[in-house]
Structure 1
């Protein structure tokens, strides 16, 4: 099937914004248009494609299977187009890019992207800043970093920023391998063993609290709070504690068998991971290349 000639860039930008934010209201605010106008644009796109791109779950819009497939290709196509346009007006003398990396992208995705970028531009230094979301988002707004890779910021932080979706990351519940209560009901284990939660200001903290509340564990007091791999891994190795943490942080530990993952049976314990950068300012070819490598790095 050839793409319908009536499909415009505005259709794809609206679609990707809704997919990233899960809300017509938030996407309309980011696009600077009214919600009815945004709804009409989405309806036009679905009519042209003859498929439903979203379904409503609670108060969020969730991608259908067709929508998820379109997002993967639409995001890559738009990024390549923007990279090409920016390349027409290169920034001279660029020898350093400042990148903020949140924990969920720090151990797997970004090292692959950084090494590939190094192969293409060995003369450019990637200055990597890590830390909590509130620290990196402030640096991004102030110009201290050029790009942030990690979970999608809250709507309140998105003024003047754009978010490009890469993939969905699950919040995992993990412990050391060979935990003595393995096979017991998760709720009972959480009520019995020490629990590590993400920090209060972590983007995933609210989802974890909702999970605990749904299982009548709202009063659970964490023994520790951290999103740092070295700290969490050390505590788990020496105890029977369980840790709620982004799967991207502990993916290698799970693959090696050093940690084990507990079933949570909660579909909402997922969140969008992607690239956040400022909307204003001229195009930056090497920054766009870094973004494109991140998109390619999450492909099959």
Structure 2
């Protein structure tokens, strides 16, 4: 590692973006998939960044990559610097960036509510370029903090993630237990949970705690999931081809329920629900386009477009 105190001439934007993305997710594999590269290639990029900066930026804790003290300082300043570079580039084309919005959309809002908001925004402000990023909660929260996205639409962040962020409640959405239509145990939830393969949200997902609590209340706390996933295409394929069950936010499967491809098993648990809304940085900038998008989200929620 070098002992230069300034920026090394070999440090590139790809190094900085890699560090920021890994810090946002804590996962090398997740960032590699998102960037369309292999995990070894991303690991080499990170190793190069640490060598060029002369300090370790991350340490591995269990399965997560956690920022070191030096890494945390670098992330704070690098994210601001990256925003400044993007602003500088946009200044070369006055007016071109004023109609661009970058939004993070969680699965619960991605299937039904947000597509309707996006279509309405297109009708009212066709000059606005809407860029949408989807992914797990921890990933999008990191992008929000770094200023990569303007807002996040979906579940209320957890207590450990909410510092520095502002949440606006839009509606409450239940977590449902679904199976293919015609499932042989559709009327006996407890028997189905005890006998059938189970798909659960991954550890760390916002809704996982409520699902775990529900299973404990039935004396099924030791049941192991066959798969952990919130991705609709994957889970739908497993459900339609087996007797598996899936705990997921209703908004994710609303279209499948309407078509009759999937059916809900009764749970009778009031705490299998959570708040959905808009999350922004407390000191985040605003714009006419962003204000319009938020107003459309409020109107869509009031009209029940998420159902």
TM-score above 0.5, yes or no: yes
In structure 1, stretches of 5+ residues that fail to align are 1-90
Q: Deviations over 1:119-178 (max 9, x none)?
A: 111111111000000000000000110110000001211111110111001000000000
RMSD of Structure 2 on Structure 1 (CA)? 1.2
The answer to whether residue 164 in structure 2 is matched with residue 151 in structure 1 is no
Which of 189, 201, 204 is the equivalent residue of 1:198? Answer: 201
Partner of 1:258: 261
Distance 2:166 2:135 in 1: 20
The alpha carbon displacement at 1:99 in A equals: 0.2
SS in structure 1 of the partner of residue 239 of structure 2: helix
Distance 2:205 2:107 in 1: 10
Alignment of 1:220-299 (within 5 A): 220-299=223-302
Which of 186, 194, 202 is the equivalent residue of 1:182? Answer: 186
Distance 1:235 1:261 in 2: 16
The alpha carbon displacement at 1:187 in A equals: 1.3
Higher relative contact order (CA 8 A, sep 6+): 1
Partner of 1:123: 127
Aligned residue-pair number: 209
Q: Deviations over 1:187-216 (max 9, x none)?
A: 111010000001112100000000001111
Partner of 2:117: 113
In structure 2, stretches of 5+ residues that fail to align are 1-93
Distance 1:149 1:282 in 2: 17
Partner of 1:166: 170
Decide which structure has the larger Cα Rg and report it.
Answer: 2
The answer to whether residue 222 in structure 2 is matched with residue 216 in structure 1 is no
SS in structure 1 of the partner of residue 185 of structure 2: coil
Q: Deviations over 1:46-84 (max 9, x none)?
A: xxxxxxxxxxxxxxxxxxxxxxxxxxxxxxxxxxxxxxx
CA distance 1:282–1:147, change in 2 (3 Å): closer
SS in structure 1 of the partner of residue 302 of structure 2: coil
Q: Deviations over 1:88-124 (max 9, x none)?
A: xxx9651211100000000000000001001111111
Distance 1:273 1:234 in 2: 26
Please say if residues 128 and 289 of structure 2, whose CA atoms lie closer than 8 Å, have aligned partners that are also in contact: no
